[in-house]
Amino acid sequence: DGGITQSPKYLFRKEGQNVTLSCEQNLNHDAMYWYRQDPGQGLRLIYYSQIVNDFQKGDIAEGYSVSREKKESFPLTVTSAQKNPTAFYLCASSVPGLAGFGAQYNEQFFGPGTRLTVL
Amino acid sequence: DAKTTQPPSMDCAEGRAANLPCNHSTISGNEYVYWYRQIHSQGPQYIIHGLKNNETNEMASLIITEDRKSSTLILPHATLRDTAVYYCIVRVLSNSGYALNFGKGTSLLVTP
């Protein structure tokens, strides 16, 4: 089955430690995204990547880093510089498409999320 | 992207139609209306999208006003499993990956 996997589902870390969240997709999608969600809030964009070896900062990139060495993988590292890292992290992917070829190509598929708690 | 306004919460009785409104008065001609929903502690799920014509799929119907300044997502026969936060998003199509601008959405509670 095609889809997006995120691991682990729950993650606990001590304050000051870096932690890497995994995101893998086998949908052959070019674009991948990381969002953060705090309780009762909408999603906020951290980083996104339109193609391998390329990525751009989103609205709240400070304290985070990413890499995109393979099409299937887009790991997110939460560094010790992130002041309030406890949150629900969501990864997504999509097929970039030309306008006119169908909006379905811009649909984003989301993983199940990782809930990070920093103690 | 145009900004959207949604009521923070709504209730609906099981089996009845749920009508979720969205205001997007600053929408421009090339912007689509997308709807996603997020069941508690899960990733968001795409529901439907449209430009100016009404759209229907197996999950829902999307009604867009003629002036495109507002839209309504209709779940024709709501079930308890439709309890979720529903997000209305307006954005242009792009020939490259384009992040979605999620607001706080509408929290829909379907009651027995």
Name the region of B80 (left: φ>0; alpha: ψ -120 to 50; beta: rest).
alpha
* Chain B environment of A34 (Cβ under 8 Å): none
| Residues of chain A positioned with their CB less than 8 A from the CB of B93 | 97-100, 103, 106
Asked if A94 is an interface residue toward chain B (Cβ–Cβ < 8 A), one would say: yes
Give the pLDDT of residue B75.
Answer: 97
Tell me, what's the pLDDT at B10?
A: 97
Q: What is the pLDDT of residue A29?
A: 87
For A15-37, how does the pLDDT look when each residue is reduced to its tens digit (9 = 90+)?
A: 889 999 999 999 988 889 999 99
A5 touches chain B (CB under 8 A): no
Nearest to B93 among A41, A48, A106 (CB): A106
Nearest CA in chain A to B34: A107
Pairs of CB atoms within 8 A across A/B? 77
Whether the upstream peptide bond of residue A8 has omega within 30° of 0, thus cis, is yes
Q: Do A98 and B95 touch (CB under 8 A)?
A: yes
Q: Does B42 touch chain A (CB under 8 A)?
A: yes
**Chain A hits for B95, Cβ within 8 Å:** 96-99
Q: What is the pLDDT of residues A55-85, one digit of tens each?
A: 999 989 999 999 999 999 999 999 988 889 9
Average the pLDDT over A41-47 and give the result. 91
Put simply, the answer to whether B104 touches A42 (Cβ < 8 Å) is yes
DSSP annotation string for chain A: ---EEEE-SEEEE-TT--EEEEEEE-S--SEEEEEEE-TT--EEEEEEEEETTEEEE-TT-TTEEE--SBTTB--EEE-TT-S---EEEEEEEE----TTS-GGGG--EE---EEEEE-
User: B48-82 burial string, b = 16+ CB within 10 Å, else e?
Assistant: bbbeeeebeeeebbbbbeeebebbbbbbeebeeeb
A114 in contact with B, Cβ within 8 Å? no
